Amino acid sequence: MDRSAAAPGVLEGSDVGSQKDRVVTEEEWLQKWEMGNIGFHKEQGHPLLQKYLNVLLNGRSGLRIFFPLCGKAVEMKWLADMGHSVVGVEVSEQALKEFFAEHSLPYHEEPVPEISGAKKLQSTSGNISLYCCSIYDLSSYVSLMITLMEKNSSYLLVTVSYDPNKHKGPPFYVPESEIKSLFGNHCEIKCLQKVDDFSDRHRQWGLDYFLEVLYVLKFVA
């Protein structure tokens, strides 16, 4: 079923309302994992990633694919099974251990000498390397993504859209204008699809629409 949606009254511009400057702290994320409060994790994978995987792969094999903020995303296993290698970064060690356990993948751990307290958990087969540290230990997120992208490489980015005056987040509303101001100097930005993802959970938050918005960013300079 194509759930493409024309959302009523979708906000744009920089109108993030009451969410300005809101963040979920690392401690809050760790707590979510400890409490099993992980409604963001999709056990069957993300339907938009499945649908648009070809946009990312573009017929190429043996890629090295980066999953920032990877959690225990099941797509990491699929892509490794397809012959790609996967690098992830995640602050919750529990999430990474659950990933390996749930896919019955043996792994080993080693410290990352360059980053105090960081660990690398690597599948024994060597094709999945997951770094347990804050992505901000590596660099700021956008500049990191830009430095990792080679010319013509593609980055699939999913955001959510709803009326931020009705829900304080998380997840936080990210307008297209923000994507443009963060990445626009280096990337061509194309919105691939807006999908209606509205459910009872969102109604309980006081919302009347909730969209997922998928972009493909192509690094050009």
CB 119 within 8 A of CB 127: no
Q: Report the 10 Å Cβ neighbour count for 72.
A: 24
Stretch that binds ligand SAM, among 36-44, 51-59, 175-183, 184-192 (CB under 6 A): 36-44
Considering the rule CB under 6 A, would residue 162 count as an interface residue with ligand SAM? no
Nearer to ligand SAM, 81 or 188 (CB): 81
Nearer to ligand SAM, 92 or 154 (CB): 92
CB 202 within 8 A of CB 42: no
What sign for the dihedral angle of Cα 116, 38, 144, 24?
negative
Considering the rule CB under 6 A, would residue 103 count as an interface residue with ligand SAM? no
Stretch that binds ligand SAM, among 7-15, 65-73, 143-151, 187-195 (CB under 6 A): 65-73
Count of residues that bind ligand SAM according to CB under 6 A: 17
| Crossing angle for the helix pair 141-148 and 176-183, to the nearest 10 degrees | 60
Among 87, 92, 154, 173, binds ligand SAM (CB under 6 A): 92
Among 134, 153, 177, 193, binds ligand SAM (CB under 6 A): 134
What are the start-end ranges of the H helices in 72-216? 75-81, 93-102, 135-138, 141-148, 176-183, 200-204
Distance of CA 178 to the CA centre of its chain: 16
Considering the rule CB under 6 A, would residue 163 count as an interface residue with ligand SAM? no
The distance of closest approach from Cβ of residue 152 to ligand SAM in the complex, given in angstroms and rounded to an integer, is 25
The DSSP code for 173 is B
Binding footprint of ligand SAM on the chain (CB under 6 A): 26, 29, 40-42, 69, 71-73, 89-92, 95, 134-136
